[in-house]
Structure 1
Amino acid sequence: MNIAVFAPNAALYEVLIREVTAERVKAHFDGLIIGEVTRYLVPKLLAMNFVCKGALSGGGSATLRMDNLGKCYAASFIRMEIETGDNVNLSQS
Protein backbone atom coordinates (compact mmCIF):
# COMPACT_ATOMS: atom_id res chain seq x y z
CA MET A 1 0.00 0.00 0.00
CA ASN A 2 1.17 3.55 -0.73
CA ILE A 3 0.33 6.69 1.21
CA ALA A 4 1.24 10.04 -0.35
CA VAL A 5 1.54 13.26 1.67
CA PHE A 6 1.71 16.72 0.09
CA ALA A 7 2.64 19.94 1.88
CA PRO A 8 1.06 23.26 0.91
CA ASN A 9 4.36 25.15 1.29
CA ALA A 10 8.10 24.60 1.76
CA ALA A 11 8.12 25.49 5.47
CA LEU A 12 5.55 22.85 6.31
CA TYR A 13 7.33 20.35 4.05
CA GLU A 14 10.44 20.73 6.22
CA VAL A 15 8.33 20.02 9.30
CA LEU A 16 6.85 16.93 7.65
CA ILE A 17 10.31 15.65 6.75
CA ARG A 18 11.37 16.02 10.37
CA GLU A 19 8.19 14.69 12.01
CA VAL A 20 6.65 12.13 9.64
CA THR A 21 9.26 9.40 9.49
CA ALA A 22 8.86 5.82 8.35
CA GLU A 23 9.24 4.69 11.95
CA ARG A 24 6.48 7.01 13.17
CA VAL A 25 4.14 5.92 10.38
CA LYS A 26 4.69 2.26 11.26
CA ALA A 27 4.10 3.02 14.96
CA HIS A 28 0.95 5.02 14.12
CA PHE A 29 -0.47 1.97 12.31
CA ASP A 30 0.74 -0.49 14.95
CA GLY A 31 -0.75 -3.91 14.29
CA LEU A 32 -2.06 -2.98 10.83
CA ILE A 33 1.21 -2.71 8.91
CA ILE A 34 3.18 -5.88 9.54
CA GLY A 35 6.00 -5.27 7.07
CA GLU A 36 8.55 -2.57 6.38
CA VAL A 37 7.61 1.08 5.83
CA THR A 38 9.81 3.01 3.41
CA ARG A 39 9.61 6.78 2.92
CA TYR A 40 10.47 8.40 -0.40
CA LEU A 41 10.89 12.18 -0.57
CA VAL A 42 9.73 14.11 -3.64
CA PRO A 43 11.03 17.62 -2.85
CA LYS A 44 10.08 19.30 -6.14
CA LEU A 45 6.45 18.44 -5.40
CA LEU A 46 6.74 19.11 -1.65
CA ALA A 47 5.62 15.52 -1.19
CA MET A 48 6.57 12.22 0.32
CA ASN A 49 5.39 8.71 -0.44
CA PHE A 50 5.25 5.87 2.06
CA VAL A 51 5.33 2.30 0.83
CA CYS A 52 3.84 0.07 3.51
CA LYS A 53 4.45 -3.64 3.05
CA GLY A 54 2.06 -6.14 4.58
CA ALA A 55 -0.64 -3.53 5.14
CA LEU A 56 -3.46 -5.12 3.17
CA SER A 57 -3.00 -8.75 4.28
CA GLY A 58 -2.35 -10.22 0.85
CA GLY A 59 -3.34 -7.30 -1.42
CA GLY A 60 -6.51 -5.53 -2.44
CA SER A 61 -8.08 -8.50 -4.17
CA ALA A 62 -6.96 -11.16 -1.68
CA THR A 63 -7.44 -9.56 1.73
CA LEU A 64 -10.34 -10.29 4.04
CA ARG A 65 -10.07 -6.86 5.68
CA MET A 66 -13.04 -4.55 5.34
CA ASP A 67 -10.68 -1.85 4.04
CA ASN A 68 -9.37 -3.92 1.16
CA LEU A 69 -7.97 -0.94 -0.78
CA GLY A 70 -6.50 0.94 2.15
CA LYS A 71 -8.76 4.00 1.93
CA CYS A 72 -9.38 4.05 5.68
CA TYR A 73 -5.61 4.29 6.20
CA ALA A 74 -5.72 7.82 4.74
CA ALA A 75 -8.39 8.88 7.22
CA SER A 76 -6.40 7.40 10.08
CA PHE A 77 -3.17 8.97 8.83
CA ILE A 78 -4.75 12.44 9.03
CA ARG A 79 -5.14 11.91 12.78
CA MET A 80 -1.38 11.44 13.31
CA GLU A 81 -0.24 14.27 15.58
CA ILE A 82 2.99 16.15 14.88
CA GLU A 83 4.75 19.20 16.31
CA THR A 84 4.81 22.08 13.83
CA GLY A 85 6.24 24.85 15.97
CA ASP A 86 4.81 28.34 16.38
CA ASN A 87 6.07 30.03 13.22
CA VAL A 88 4.99 27.56 10.52
CA ASN A 89 2.41 28.73 8.00
CA LEU A 90 -0.09 25.90 7.53
CA SER A 91 -1.75 27.42 4.47
CA GLN A 92 -0.67 27.60 0.86
CA SER A 93 1.80 30.28 -0.10
Structure 2
Amino acid sequence: MITVPLHHAGHGRTGDKGNRSNISVIAWHPALWPLLVEQITEVAVAQAFAHRRPTRVTRHLLPRLQAMNFVLDEVLDGGVNDSLNLDSHGKALSFLLLDLPLNVPDTLASHLVGLPGAPRPPRP
Protein backbone atom coordinates (compact mmCIF):
# COMPACT_ATOMS: atom_id res chain seq x y z
CA MET A 1 0.00 0.00 0.00
CA ILE A 2 1.24 3.49 -0.84
CA THR A 3 -0.18 6.86 0.10
CA VAL A 4 -0.18 9.59 -2.55
CA PRO A 5 -1.87 12.94 -3.04
CA LEU A 6 -5.18 12.55 -4.85
CA HIS A 7 -3.91 14.34 -7.97
CA HIS A 8 -1.91 11.23 -8.86
CA ALA A 9 -5.20 9.28 -9.15
CA GLY A 10 -7.50 11.94 -10.59
CA HIS A 11 -7.85 15.45 -11.89
CA GLY A 12 -10.31 18.18 -11.04
CA ARG A 13 -12.65 20.77 -12.49
CA THR A 14 -14.26 23.56 -10.53
CA GLY A 15 -16.79 26.31 -10.74
CA ASP A 16 -18.52 28.70 -8.44
CA LYS A 17 -21.84 30.46 -8.25
CA GLY A 18 -22.65 32.88 -5.50
CA ASN A 19 -21.27 31.50 -2.25
CA ARG A 20 -21.19 27.87 -3.48
CA SER A 21 -18.27 25.98 -5.02
CA ASN A 22 -18.47 22.87 -7.21
CA ILE A 23 -15.39 20.69 -7.38
CA SER A 24 -15.31 17.60 -9.55
CA VAL A 25 -12.77 14.80 -9.31
CA ILE A 26 -12.31 12.52 -12.32
CA ALA A 27 -10.28 9.30 -12.04
CA TRP A 28 -7.27 9.04 -14.35
CA HIS A 29 -8.08 5.33 -14.82
CA PRO A 30 -11.32 3.37 -14.21
CA ALA A 31 -9.48 0.95 -11.89
CA LEU A 32 -8.88 3.84 -9.46
CA TRP A 33 -12.56 4.83 -9.28
CA PRO A 34 -13.52 2.51 -6.37
CA LEU A 35 -10.70 3.99 -4.26
CA LEU A 36 -11.98 7.50 -4.88
CA VAL A 37 -15.52 6.52 -3.90
CA GLU A 38 -14.32 4.79 -0.75
CA GLN A 39 -11.86 7.44 0.47
CA ILE A 40 -12.86 10.83 -0.95
CA THR A 41 -16.06 11.21 1.03
CA GLU A 42 -18.20 14.14 2.13
CA VAL A 43 -16.62 13.88 5.58
CA ALA A 44 -13.05 13.90 4.18
CA VAL A 45 -13.81 16.93 2.01
CA ALA A 46 -15.56 18.78 4.84
CA GLN A 47 -12.47 18.22 7.03
CA ALA A 48 -10.14 19.46 4.27
CA PHE A 49 -12.22 22.63 3.94
CA ALA A 50 -12.94 23.11 7.65
CA HIS A 51 -11.03 26.40 7.64
CA ARG A 52 -13.53 27.71 5.00
CA ARG A 53 -16.44 26.66 7.28
CA PRO A 54 -18.76 25.04 4.70
CA THR A 55 -22.33 24.77 5.95
CA ARG A 56 -22.83 21.64 3.87
CA VAL A 57 -20.80 19.34 1.63
CA THR A 58 -22.71 17.15 -0.82
CA ARG A 59 -21.15 14.48 -3.04
CA HIS A 60 -22.73 13.40 -6.33
CA LEU A 61 -21.33 10.22 -7.88
CA LEU A 62 -21.10 9.84 -11.66
CA PRO A 63 -19.92 6.24 -12.03
CA ARG A 64 -20.20 6.05 -15.83
CA LEU A 65 -17.66 8.88 -15.99
CA GLN A 66 -15.61 7.63 -13.02
CA ALA A 67 -16.20 11.09 -11.56
CA MET A 68 -17.72 12.77 -8.54
CA ASN A 69 -18.87 16.30 -7.92
CA PHE A 70 -18.72 18.00 -4.55
CA VAL A 71 -20.93 20.97 -3.78
CA LEU A 72 -19.63 23.09 -0.91
CA ASP A 73 -22.08 25.66 0.46
CA GLU A 74 -21.01 28.97 2.00
CA VAL A 75 -17.27 28.61 1.30
CA LEU A 76 -16.56 31.63 -0.91
CA ASP A 77 -16.50 34.51 1.59
CA GLY A 78 -19.94 35.61 0.42
CA GLY A 79 -19.27 35.01 -3.27
CA VAL A 80 -17.01 36.48 -5.93
CA ASN A 81 -18.77 39.85 -5.95
CA ASP A 82 -18.72 40.22 -2.15
CA SER A 83 -15.20 38.98 -1.44
CA LEU A 84 -11.87 40.74 -1.60
CA ASN A 85 -10.12 37.36 -1.47
CA LEU A 86 -10.00 36.16 -5.08
CA ASP A 87 -7.72 33.24 -4.21
CA SER A 88 -10.61 31.48 -2.47
CA HIS A 89 -12.60 31.04 -5.66
CA GLY A 90 -12.83 28.60 -8.50
CA LYS A 91 -9.76 26.65 -9.45
CA ALA A 92 -7.75 27.54 -6.37
CA LEU A 93 -10.05 25.36 -4.24
CA SER A 94 -9.60 22.28 -6.43
CA PHE A 95 -5.90 22.20 -5.61
CA LEU A 96 -6.73 21.82 -1.91
CA LEU A 97 -9.01 18.87 -2.67
CA LEU A 98 -6.50 17.24 -5.03
CA ASP A 99 -3.92 17.26 -2.25
CA LEU A 100 -5.98 14.89 -0.04
CA PRO A 101 -4.11 11.66 0.76
CA LEU A 102 -5.22 8.51 -1.03
CA ASN A 103 -4.22 4.99 0.01
CA VAL A 104 -3.53 2.91 -3.09
CA PRO A 105 -2.83 -0.84 -3.11
CA ASP A 106 0.46 -1.74 -4.77
CA THR A 107 -1.49 -3.66 -7.42
CA LEU A 108 -3.08 -0.40 -8.65
CA ALA A 109 0.00 1.82 -8.43
CA SER A 110 0.71 1.38 -12.16
CA HIS A 111 -2.47 3.39 -12.90
CA LEU A 112 -1.26 6.46 -11.02
CA VAL A 113 0.14 9.40 -13.00
CA GLY A 114 2.89 11.84 -12.18
CA LEU A 115 5.00 9.55 -10.01
CA PRO A 116 8.54 8.65 -11.10
CA GLY A 117 8.16 5.91 -13.70
CA ALA A 118 4.38 6.41 -13.94
CA PRO A 119 2.54 7.33 -17.13
CA ARG A 120 1.86 10.96 -17.97
CA PRO A 121 -1.73 12.20 -17.79
CA PRO A 122 -3.57 12.05 -21.11
CA ARG A 123 -3.73 15.31 -23.07
CA PRO A 124 -7.16 16.94 -23.31
TM-score, structure 1 as length reference: 0.86
Whose radius of gyration is greater, 1 or 2?
A: 2
1:90 corresponds, among 112, 118, 123, to 112
Q: Which amino acid letter does the alignment assign opposite residue 82 of structure 1?
A: L
Q: Which residue in the other structure is 1:76 paired with?
A: 96
Match of 2:29 in 1: 9
Sequence identity percentage: 33
Whether the 8 Å contact between 2:41 and 2:59 is mirrored in structure 1 is yes
Q: Deviations over 1:30-80 (max 9, x none)?
A: 211421000000111110000000110211222232325232111222211
Instruction: Read off the aligned partner of 2:106 and give its amino acid letter.
Output: D
More strand by share: 2
Alpha carbons 1:33, 1:52 under 8 Å: kept: no
Answer yes or no: is the 8 Å Cα contact 1:56–1:68 preserved in 2. yes
**Contact (CA 8 Å) 2:80, 2:86: kept in 1 or not?**
no
Instruction: State the alpha-carbon separation in 2 of the partners of residues 5 and 18 from structure 1.
Output: 13
* Cα distance change on mapping 1:85 and 1:33 into 2, 3 Å: farther
TM-aligned CA distance change 1:2 to 1:33, over 3 Å: farther
CA RMSD of aligned residues (A): 1.7
Q: Which runs of 5+ in 2 are unaligned?
A: 1-20, 114-120
Structure 1: segments with no counterpart, 5+ residues: none
TM superposition shift of 1:86: 1.3
Specify the alignment match of 1:32 in structure 2.
52
